[in-house]
Each structure stands twice: as C-alpha cells, then as structure tokens.
C-alpha cells in the first residue's frame, strides 16, 4: 500500500501531456485512450486497459495490488492494523494516517479509462461490432465507472445524507487540459449518476464472462451495495429481488468449506462473482501482496485483537489468525490469504471484489432493515456459517428482535468479509450512529465515517469546492 499517492487528475494531466509516447510504452491491454478505438478489436484493447486499472496493476513491476481494498477498510473497522507499529487510522484519525488516501487516484484512473471506452465505443457505427458486443462493452465500462464512483462516494462523500452537498467529483469525459477544473456534486446527484451507470450495466453487460471481468450479475451485486447505503424503504425490497436473481440465475454456488476458496481454488471457485486475477509469475515477486501478510516484507498488515476476539470459538479462527506479531501490541498474523509458514502462490495473490456469500448476507440485512421475516434472515446466517464449519447457532437462534438480528447479520458480515473489499467497514458505517459509537468507541462523530479529500485535488482542480467537514483544505 502506498503511503503517498498522487491524485488521478495529476496523473491524467501527465498522461495527456505526452499521450502517444506514454500509451506506446504500455502493454497492449493497458491502452485506454478513446481516440484509439476504431473497431471492436481496438475497443476490446481499450476495455482491457480499463480492467488493467481496475486491478490496479503497478507499472513499475506489472503486478496487481488490491491490498488497499483488503486492508484499509478493515483498519477503519478496527480489525486490522499496521504490523510494524500502530497507525492513526486504527483510531479513526485519518489526516496524518498511512491509510488516509487508499482510493482517490486508483478510482479516477479507472473512471478516466472507462470514459475513454464509453465515448470511443458509443461513437462507432453498430456494424463495427458483432451481435450485442457494442452494448456489452459500454455496459462493462459503465460498471467500472459505477464501481469506482461508489467507492469514492463511500469513502470521500457523505453517502449517508441524501441532502448533503458533500458528494463526489463526477467525471463523464476523458480528462483533458481544458476540463480538469470541475466542482464536486451533491450526494443525491452522485447517487443518480451511479444508479444510471449500474442500471445500464445490469441491462447490457454480458450474462456470462470470465469472473475477472464484469457481467450483469456483478452489476446486480454492486447495486445491492449501493441500495443498502442509499437506505430508503424501496431500496431494501429491490436489494432482496436482486439477490434472489443472482442466486437463482447466476450459476454461482457457495463453497462447501470457505477456506478452500482462499487456500485452494481462488478464481476457480464457483462462489466468485468478480475477482482480481494476478499477473503471470506475480507470486515470485518478492514484494507481492500476500507476502505482506506472511512473513512480512516491505510492509506487514496484521489482525488486531478485536478480530481474534470476534472469531473466538469460530472454526475460521484456526486458519485466519496466526501467531502473535512481536512488532505491535495485540496483533497477530492475518492468514486469510496465505497460510503461515508457506510461500506466495497465484491463489494467495488473488483478490475478491464480489462473491456469493456477500449477496446472501446483504439480502439478510435488507430483510431485517425492511421489517421482513426474521426467520428468513436467520436461515441465511445459518447457511453462511455452516459453510464456514460453524455448528452452534445459539446466538442466531436467540436473536428474536429486529435489532438483535441486525446485530447478528452485522457480526457475520465482519467474520465473512473482513479483509476483502471493505464490506466489514461499510456494514459498521450503515449502523445507527448510536450503535456505531458503542461498537467502535474511537468513532465519536459522523465526520469519522468520511476521509479527507487529498490536498493535491485542490492544487490541480481549483474548482472542486469545499473540503469535507472536519478537515483542512
């Protein structure tokens, strides 16, 4: 994870300054400039370039790193930390944190690439494409844009207040020197744009695709996340409907033993809806992703005592929590991706954006928050836990009120999805503020649910507007 990250607009400015030269240096699957799209073949190259950025492939070593998706949100939630000494974000203090800016550059790089695809493909005649491929490509690009904009809204905007002016900077055009200056949008405008993109992806993205590319079911899973954050009464009903469609028609299946997904199968698992495929020989690179969990190379990211306590008595503790880390108090090796005493593999280098367990768990949350049948939510929790080896369902069976059942859903999201794509943090942030303060006492104010916009955004984009409340511009 990078401790200092330049914003996407600065990167885009540099890209535009020598566009032909820079694009010539990139591998073919990294080209993103919409002006290079002439037909279906070149459109696919540009779309591959957008996925290349979605996987956050590092230009200096050509390997994927989704570690910021795995670590930073779980740091905010209190379950992970920096293994060589505590960081301010572990107390939800972000201004001077190592984890203060995990997504800004990455998200806007993806958005810029997706915009190039959308504009380039839209401008071509239909006869340049076979079948429905033109609409599918646009749908995939709009999925990537929706995912990235929602990531930005979830971390840098007041997503929990539909009346807030503190939304995100929405960009629908490929960035040029003439359009860098732009104001942030309101939260409602941000949601409107994100919903429009994800709905197009549901309607037009391919029904089937390699699971490191988006399809319509990945778009449905993304929309479930958005709906639960949007949080209106009709949103919960829609989320349940989407979950039922994914479960019934997506062709996915829960792993009999969830440990096998992380240790044996990776993207070969039928549970994976959308994953990050590591580059060839990535496991051999000394500073790869999983080596930062075990044994720890340039960095070390660890489980905190809170996660060990959460998993006490749970079969997952036996393989997710390792020996005590001697460099930071009350921390332990985090072994969800790599077993202690082993070396990195292609499977340990694989990351997961969406998988079927999350769909079930978000459905359970939607059922409870909509005032639905608690027995249905209870059955989902028992199903997910049974695939993790749990046999004692007493806490779930004892949850007889909506509040108690929502708490059980929340706890299972933490156990199942910790260290993946931030759903442990978002499940915490979706709780009522009074509950958040009890569960996570380091959070004393809603401003701690939002990160500061990076200072360099205001340098490159003087028209952006105000900094988020509680932070200095």
* Boundaries of every domain in the chain: 278-349
Q: Which residues contact 396 (CB under 8 A, 6 or more apart)?
A: 378, 381, 382, 385, 408
CA angle 317, 322, 326 (to 5 degrees): 140
Residue 30 has a pLDDT of 59
Residue 20 has a pLDDT of 29
Q: Is 106 left (phi over 0), alpha (psi -120 to 50) or beta?
A: alpha
Residue 174 has a pLDDT of 84
Residue 178 has a pLDDT of 77
Read off the tokens for 53.
């950025």
> 310: number of CA atoms within 13 Å, CB side?
25
Residue 15 has a pLDDT of 34
Residue 33 has a pLDDT of 61
Task: Please list the residues that pair with 204 across neighbouring strands.
Answer: none
- Mean pLDDT per 10-residue interval, the chain, length 473 residues: 35 33 40 77 96 93 94 98 96 94 95 96 97 98 98 98 98 84 97 98 98 98 98 98 98 98 98 97 96 96 98 98 97 98 98 98 98 98 98 98 98 98 98 97 97 94 96 88
Q: Give the helix, strand, coil percentages of the chain, each rounded to 5.
A: 50, 5, 40
pTM assigned to the model: 0.93
Residue 23 has a pLDDT of 28
The residue among 64, 202, 102, 209 whose CA lies nearest residue 146 is: 202
């Amino acid at each position: 994870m990078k401790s200092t990250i330049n914003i996407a607009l600065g990167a885009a400015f540099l890209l535009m300054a020598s566009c032909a030269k820079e694009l010539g240096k990139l591998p073919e699957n990294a080209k993103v400039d919409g002006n290079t799209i002439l037909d279906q073949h070149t459109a696919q190259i540009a779309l591959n370039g957008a996925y290349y950025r979605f996987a956050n492939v590092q230009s200096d070593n050509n390997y994927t790193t989704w570690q910021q998706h795995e670590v930073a949100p779980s740091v905010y939630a209190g379950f992970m930390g920096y293994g060589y000494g505590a960081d301010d974000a572990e107390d939800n203090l972000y201004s001077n944190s190592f984890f203060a800016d995990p997504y800004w550059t990455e998200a806007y790089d993806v958005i810029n690439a997706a915009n190039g695809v959308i504009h380039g493909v839209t401008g071509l005649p239909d006869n340049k494409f076979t079948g429905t491929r033109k609409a599918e490509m646009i749908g995939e690009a709009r999925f990537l844009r929706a995912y990235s904009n929602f990531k930005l809204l979830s971390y840098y905007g007041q997503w929990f207040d539909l009346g807030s002016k503190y939304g995100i900077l929405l960009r629908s055009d490929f960035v040029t020197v003439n359009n860098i200056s732009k104001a942030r949008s309101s939260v409602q405008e941000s949601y409107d744009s994100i919903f429009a993109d994800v709905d197009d992806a549901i309607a037009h993205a391919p029904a089937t695709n390699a699971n490191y590319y988006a399809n319509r079911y990945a778009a449905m899973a993304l929309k479930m996340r958005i709906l639960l954050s949007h949080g209106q009464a009709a949103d919960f009903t829609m989320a349940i409907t989407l979950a039922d469609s994914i479960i019934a028609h997506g062709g996915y299946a829960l792993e009999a033993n969830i440990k096998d997904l992380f240790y044996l199968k990776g993207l070969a698992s039928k549970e994976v809806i959308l994953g990050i495929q590591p580059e060839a020989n990535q496991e051999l690179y000394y500073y790869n992703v999983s080596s930062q969990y075990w044994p720890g190379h340039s960095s070390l990211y660890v489980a905190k005592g809170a996660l060990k306590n959460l998993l006490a008595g749970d079969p997952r503790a036996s393989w997710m929590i390792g020996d005590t880390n001697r460099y930071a108090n009350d921390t332990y090796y985090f072994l969800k991706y790599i077993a202690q005493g082993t070396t990195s593999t292609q499977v340990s280098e694989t990351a997961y954006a969406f998988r079927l367990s999350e769909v079930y768990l978000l459905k359970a949350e939607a059922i409870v928050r909509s005032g639905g049948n608690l027995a249905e939510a209870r059955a989902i929790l028992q199903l997910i836990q049974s695939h993790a080896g749990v046999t004692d369902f007493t806490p779930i069976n004892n949850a007889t009120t909506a509040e108690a059942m929502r708490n059980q859903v929340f706890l299972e999201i933490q156990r199942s999805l910790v260290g993946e794509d931030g759903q442990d943090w978002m499940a915490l942030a979706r709780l009522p503020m009074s509950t958040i303060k009890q569960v996570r006492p380091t959070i004393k104010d809603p401003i701690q649910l939002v990160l500061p916009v990076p200072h360099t955004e205001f340098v490159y984009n003087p028209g952006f507007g105000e900094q988020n409340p509680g932070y200095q511009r």
